[in-house]
Structure 1
Amino acid sequence: MSARIGVVTFPGSLDDRDAQRAIRLAGGEAVALWHADHDLQGVDAIVLPGGFSYGDYLRPGAIAAVSPIMAEVIDAANAGMPVLGICNGFQVLVEAHLLPGGLIRNAHQQFVRRDQRLVVENASTDWTNEFEQGEEIVIPLKNGDGGYIADDETLKRLEGEGLVAFRYAGVNPNGSLNDIAGLTNERGNVVGLMPHPEHATEPGFGPNTSERMRSGVDGLRFFTSALSAIGVAA
């Protein structure tokens, strides 16, 4: 039986269907979850997708973080369920205090869209266990509010405890402190990042590689990692 991974759709979500497709390509069963419900439908893991939830009013992710279903998501995350926040989903995780710090307007004040090199800094989380520590991957990036910030004490803790999951390589596209592209919690079940792994899961639709155009599938291993973490072979 396939693992069931829920994808929450908020008003303004753009990449929920892409995340569902990535889950299916990895060998899981994608389950659509609705922001206004209080039912996780018995899923084994959860993805908070990219987009502009609730139009990014107030701050990106701020309203989504207090939507009805997030009460269940927070409880599930605190109980150890794997939860991945992608771009706007990362912002939601930060606003819900499942991950520390904040995300602000890109330093250059422009929306950025590029195939972004990342270094995998923590390969022992539920969403990164099929990567190698220090491995460089390429994942599409698209955001306007991706600058990661935190106070000095938080940054020291993140670095000292190995909670930086991904770091930008080659170029820092949005002014994130310490080149931070993604984080994990201490338990390793909650991961958030600004780049979009769901857009690098299928040959012909991913980033360019040295082998051929659009052949990059580094993002697929996020989802197969989750299946491994919950005991399902990819």
Structure 2
Amino acid sequence: MNFAVLVFPGSNCDIDMFKAVEDTVGEPVEYVWHTATDLSSYDVILVPGGFSYGDYLRCGAIARFAPVMAELKKAAEAGKFVLGVCNGFQILTEAGLLPGALIRNNSLKFRCHPVDLKVENNITPFTNAYAPGETIRIPIAHGEGNYVCDAETLARLKTNNQVVFRYQGDNPNGSVDNIAGVCNERGNVVGMMPHPERAVSELLGSSDGARMFTSVLNVFLSRVEPSAVNGARAH
């Protein structure tokens, strides 16, 4: 199973993501520069956190036009597994791969600390190793993590089980409906503000993030489509 970690000018969590893959699943992983025009050799594409292009205009607004993004859209449409974390989540929403948008925290402050998350959807390729409703501990580090969408989109997210994580207890940024992560309708593209790659060992304060990487490996090894896994778990 081949993992790609996309790297944009200003990415700063790419090494964390690379090491998380090495430490949790031990599968081949490579850095892929934003100018790449071919992602066909990768099964999982990870879009890390940071400040792509300095977060000018809006977070992720410039990165969405990078050459690699056209290939990322093709990969997502082909059913490959895509995870965007923090700035990666912002990039995925700007590119239209996920619904909604991320704006400034309601406190107007950068928040950097562990948070409790409730697993709302454990039938995505990245969350199948969690129990439904389980509370996990994952750190955040963002100034623009306030997830927003209109009422129609929110209703659709709920109907389609696209809310993957919610903040449990304190909402650190004012996100609508306490949303911390969402997926596309197919379930193969997931975006979240908390950093699972920074929670893969108890030495880091939590190992709860490790199961996001082992989850996707399990799905790949099962040699079934994400929809088939979803259907099996739904029954």
Short-chain TM bin: over 0.9
- Match of 2:14? 16
Deviation readout 1:102-139 (Å, 9 max, x if unpaired): 10000010000110100000000011111111000000
- Match of 1:40? 39
Could you tell me how far apart the structure 1 residues matched to 2:125 and 2:40 are? 20
Could you tell me how far apart the structure 2 residues matched to 1:113 and 1:187 are? 31
Could you tell me how far apart the structure 2 residues matched to 1:92 and 1:231 are? 28
Aligned ranges 1:44-55 → 2 under 5 Å? 44-55=43-54
Could you tell me how far apart the structure 2 residues matched to 1:201 and 1:5 are? 17
TM-score normalised by the chain length of structure 1: 0.93
- Match of 1:6? 4
Instruction: Report how many aligned residue pairs link the two structures.
Output: 222
Give the alignment partner of residue 228 of structure 1, picking from 218, 221, 232. Answer: 218
- Match of 1:67? 66
Letter in 1 for 2:198: H
CA deviation after TM superposition for structure 1 residue 9, in Å: 0.5
SS of the residue corresponding to residue 88 of structure 2 reads: helix
Letter in 2 for 1:16: D
Could you tell me how far apart the structure 2 residues matched to 1:217 and 1:232 are? 24
SS of the residue corresponding to residue 158 of structure 1 reads: helix
Contact 2:82 2:188 in 1 (8 A): yes
Deviation readout 1:20-42 (Å, 9 max, x if unpaired): 01111122221110001112260
Counterpart check, 1:173 vs 2:172: yes
Deviation readout 1:69-115 (Å, 9 max, x if unpaired): 01001110011000000000000010010100110000010000110
Contact 2:40 2:75 in 1 (8 A): no
CA RMSD of superposed structures (Å): 1.2
| Residue segments in structure 1 that go unaligned for 5+ positions in a row | 206-213
Deviation readout 1:159-218 (Å, 9 max, x if unpaired): 12110000000100000000000001111100000000000012312xxxxxxxx2x100
Could you tell me how far apart the structure 2 residues matched to 1:113 and 1:176 are? 16
Could you tell me how far apart the structure 2 residues matched to 1:100 and 1:41 are? 25
- Match of 1:219? 209
| Residue segments in structure 2 that go unaligned for 5+ positions in a row | 224-235
Consecutive aligned runs of 4 or more in structure 1 exceeding 2 Å deviation: none
- Match of 1:209? none
Could you tell me how far apart the structure 2 residues matched to 1:20 and 1:40 are? 17
TM-score normalised by the chain length of structure 2: 0.92
Q: Which has the higher helix share?
A: 2
Could you tell me how far apart the structure 2 residues matched to 1:63 and 1:232 are? 37
SS of the residue corresponding to residue 216 of structure 2 reads: helix
Could you tell me how far apart the structure 1 residues matched to 2:41 and 2:159 are? 35
- Match of 1:211? none
Letter in 1 for 2:16: D
SS of the residue corresponding to residue 231 of structure 1 reads: helix
Could you tell me how far apart the structure 1 residues matched to 2:118 and 2:22 are? 26
